[in-house]
Amino acid sequence: MLHIVLRREEMIRVDRMCELFCLSSRVPTVATFSLERFAAHGVAAEAGVDGWGLAFYEGRDLRLYREPEPASNSPWLAFIARARLPSRLILSHIRRATRGAISLANTQPFVRELGGRRHAFAHNGDLAGIAERHAGEWRHFQPVGESDSEIAFCLLLQRLWPLWSAGVVPPIERRIEVFARFAAQMRRLGPANFLYADGDALFAHGDRRKQKDGTIAPPGLWRLERRCAADPDALPQAGIALEGRPQELVLLASVPLTDEPWVPLAAGEVIVVREGALLARDPR
Which are the catalytic amino acids?
18
Q: Is 105 helix (H, G, I), strand (E, B) or coil?
A: helix
Quick one: which of 179, 231, 184 has its CA closest to 200?
A: 179
| Cα–Cα dist 197/104, whole Å | 20
- The answer to whether 281 and 194 have CB atoms below 8 angstroms apart is no
Q: How many CB atoms lie within 10 A of CB 32?
A: 17
Q: How many CB atoms lie within 10 A of CB 260?
A: 13
The strand ranges marked E within the chain are 2-4, 20-31, 51-58, 61-67, 86-95, 110-114, 117-125, 192-197, 202-205, 209-210, 216-217, 222-228, 247-253, 263-264, 270-274, 277-282
| Cα–Cα dist 56/81, whole Å | 13
Residues ≥6 apart with Cβ < 8 Å to 76: 65, 67
- The answer to whether 4 and 87 have CB atoms below 8 angstroms apart is no
| Cα–Cα dist 43/40, whole Å | 6
DSSP code for 190: S
- For residue 248, the cross-strand partners are 227
* CA 41 to the chain's CA centroid: 16
